[in-house]
Amino acid sequence: MLLARRGITVPSFRARIFTAPFAAPSNHHPRLLTMSSTAAPFTRLVRFHPSSDPSAIKIGTPVDPNIDIGLDTFPFSSSTPPLVDVYSGTSILSPGTSTGERLQLGTILSPLCPSEVGTIRCIGLNYTEHAHEANLPIPTVPTLFMKPSTSLAGPYPQPTVIPKSFVADDAADYEAELAVVIGKPCKDVDEQHAMDYVLGITAANDVSSRKAQFAQSQWSYSKGFDSACPIGPTIVHISTIPNLRDVQIEAKLNDQVVQNSSLNDLIFSIPKIISFLSQGTTLTPGTIILTGTPAGIGWTANPRRTLQHGDTFSVTISHGVGTLINQIQYES
């Protein structure tokens, strides 16, 4: 089976990603530190179908604080399906509190459903090394493009489907990204207070069709097709991350590491991005912000890499977020 042959090696991630998610920051920087002083309603949440009732949708906290939900529910993992402490709410935007009920996780869903997402705002060219590999100048203001809420997708088993209109181009590419979820209405905020409006972070893949992208000045068409924005597997509350500079992001195409960076390479910090996007514009709760991709995209690689039917692509983010895994499918 293709997934078995191209599966993810579980032990290679877990020790590094989950050893000390709440360690003291090693390099304080006021524009990257979290600002909230209120108690967090959760540490991390997963939205899921329980194995006992595949039609039900629940949210909750994984009972094992060290588990990588994405890896441990991927086929051929030797782990027992994890238990989740179920919360009383039905949305990560208003999670409620623990009910005390524990359910075995069946299928992971996107942390948000499309109806909860006002907009998906994306920042292009926001890592220094990525700008260098693309042979482009460092931008002086953030570059914004949008994805529709219909592009939102969840982790495996939901696939990333390359539309038949793009398949012949052989130009499908990946972009591993850290995604920010806004938790309360945000408008005209300054950088110092921007993090007060953030609910948490998750992993994302800004799936792109490069030939369509470069044929136009606007990118929404080439990056906005259905399933072009998978996110997950969990959302980690922003208050649990002392310093965003320490967050690590790694991507694998099948079994090969293709992107590996920390947020220390960002051109525009997350508070800067939020402040910029909020000027004159309300960012509503559920707004998703993709913050840019590190160096290592397939289109600029030598030899060039494109996403092929049957490939497995994964994005791993530290501090408890875990691994977002999707299989690539070409639409016939």
End-to-end CA distance of the chain: 20
List, for residues 16-40, the tens digit of each pLDDT value. Answer: 344 333 332 333 344 344 444 457 8
- pLDDT tops 90 at residue 214: no
Tokens 């997963």 sit on residue? 46
User: Whole-angstrom Cα distance, residue 127 to residue 136?
Assistant: 11
Q: What is the residue type of 54?
A: P
- pLDDT tops 80 at residue 133: yes
Question: Per-residue b/e over 205-239, b at no fewer than 16 CB within 10 Å?
Answer: bbbbbbebbeeeeebbebbbbebbbbbbbbbbbbb
List, for residues 112-128, the tens digit of each pLDDT value. Answer: 999 999 899 999 999 99
The model's confidence at residue 147, banded by pLDDT at 50, 70 and 90, is: very high
What CATH number is attached to the domain comprising 193?
3.90.850.10
Of residues 327 and 15, the one with the higher pLDDT is 327
Choose the weakest-confidence range: 11-15, 173-177, 260-264.
11-15
The model's confidence at residue 10, banded by pLDDT at 50, 70 and 90, is: very low
Q: What is the extent of the structural domain holding 279?
A: 2-330
pLDDT of residue 53: 97
List, for residues 78-96, the tens digit of each pLDDT value. Answer: 668 899 999 999 999 999 9
The domain tally of the chain equals 1
Q: Could you tell me the pTM of the whole model?
A: 0.89
User: Whole-angstrom Cα distance, residue 155 to residue 95?
Assistant: 20
Mean pLDDT, rounded, for 277-306: 97
The answer to whether the CB of 120 falls within 8 A of the CB of 147 is: yes
Output the average pLDDT for the chain.
89
- pLDDT tops 80 at residue 325: yes
Which CA distances in Å does 97 have to 74, 324, 332? 28, 25, 44
List, for residues 36-86, the tens digit of each pLDDT value. Answer: 445 789 999 999 999 999 999 999 999 999 999 999 988 866 668 899 999
pLDDT of residue 221: 80
Q: Measuring CA to CA, which residue among 192, 187, 179 is closest to residue 36?
A: 192
